[in-house]
Amino acid sequence: MKILHTSDWHLGRTLCGRRRHEEFAAFLEWLAGIIEAHAIDALLVAGDLFDTSTPGNPAQALYYRFLCRVAASPCRHVVVVAGNHDSPAFLEAPRELLKALDVHVVGAACEDPADEVLVLHDAAGAPELIVCAVPYLRERDIRQVTPGESVRDKERKLLEGVRGHYAAVADAALRRREALAAEVPIVGMGHLFTAGGESVEGDGVRDLYVGSLAHVSPGIFPACFDYLALGHLHLPQTVNGRDNARYSGSPLAMGFGEACQSKSLCLVELDAAGARVQLIGVPVFRRLERVRGDWEAVSARIGR
């Protein structure tokens, strides 16, 4: 099957006080066309759909109109997990309604990790994919605060909590696959900062845990994942050099520090041989540029 992995849309984001509604609308129109042209079976959105926890009406309208268009396309499934910019409650509010459109939303870590495991079915009703839809894990989800704990203790608990949560979700996925009695591929999702990940100045990527420098080791992800779809870092990149574990990156430059980046989406083809990944370049809907120099040089460049 064909999966399209994207993340970090940040709908509603402004730049230097200017709204970017037209850029976001152009991207979603283009994305819908890509889904149709490549006959995508499942769209995975790995967090930070919105730039704030209280997105305005224009940003919400773009999101819901896009979902309606995808639901009417050959794409059978959309899986959305929340990022650190998103409000879990806001994303999950229409969850039951969106299920009717085969849009699956996981906004917050579930009390039972098995509830983050989704079994997706093909047009004939047969299981075709298992998705471990892990959202951004907030501190309260993965560790208990102990009075007098040191920074090192806090970081250790954070990393152990993330590792333990992914292990529990993966175990539930393996049990689900065993019950299906079918070799269904397993895809993991997440929104976090892995050690060694690259970011750039001014991209708006936040430290996820206040007072902590903890970045998650790539080794915490279970080996059963045939593909790992991550969000949070805006620069497209692999995780620890693994072609089947990737950050798709943001589709638009979120600041001038990203102006020279090539943006892309990850088209993943899953079959018995594993995952094959092809990058699809995202067009530049509005070019950003930094201009330096004296007034004569700056005014000449602006006039071009």
Model confidence over 22-64: pLDDT tens digits? 999 999 999 999 999 999 999 999 999 999 999 999 999 999 9
CATH number for the domain running over 2-302: 3.60.21.10
Over its C-alpha atoms, the chain yields an Rg (Å, rounded) of: 20
Distance CA(163)–CA(217), nearest Å, equals: 9
Give residue-wise pLDDT tens across range 230-274.
Answer: 999 999 999 988 999 999 999 998 888 777 788 999 999 998 888
Residue 218 has pLDDT above 60, yes or no: yes
Give the pairing of strands 14-15 and 18-19.
antiparallel
Residue 169 has pLDDT above 60, yes or no: yes
CA nearest neighbour of 5 among 183, 166, 191, 170? 191
pLDDT value at position 202? 53
pLDDT value at position 210? 41
Give the pairing of strands 42-46 and 77-81.
parallel
Residue 177 has φ and ψ, to the nearest 5°, of: -65, -40
pLDDT value at position 96? 92
Q: Regarding predicted confidence, which is higher, 216 or 193? A: 193
Give mean pLDDT, residues 63-76.
Answer: 95
Residue 203 has pLDDT above 70, yes or no: no
Going from the C-alpha of 225 to that of each of 53, 128, 137, 258, 274, the distances in angstroms are 30, 14, 19, 30, 10
Give mean pLDDT, residues 95-110.
Answer: 94
Distance CA(101)–CA(228), nearest Å, equals: 24
pLDDT value at position 214? 54
DSSP-derived secondary structure for 2-47:
EEEEE----BT-EETTEE-HHHHHHHHHHHHHHHHHTT-SEEEEES
pLDDT value at position 155? 81
Give mean pLDDT, residues 89-113.
Answer: 94
pLDDT value at position 304? 66
Distance CA(299)–CA(295), nearest Å, equals: 6
Give mean pLDDT, residues 125-141.
Answer: 93
pLDDT value at position 211? 41
Which of 126-130, 149-153, 200-204 is predicted least confidently? Answer: 200-204
Average pLDDT, the chain: 89
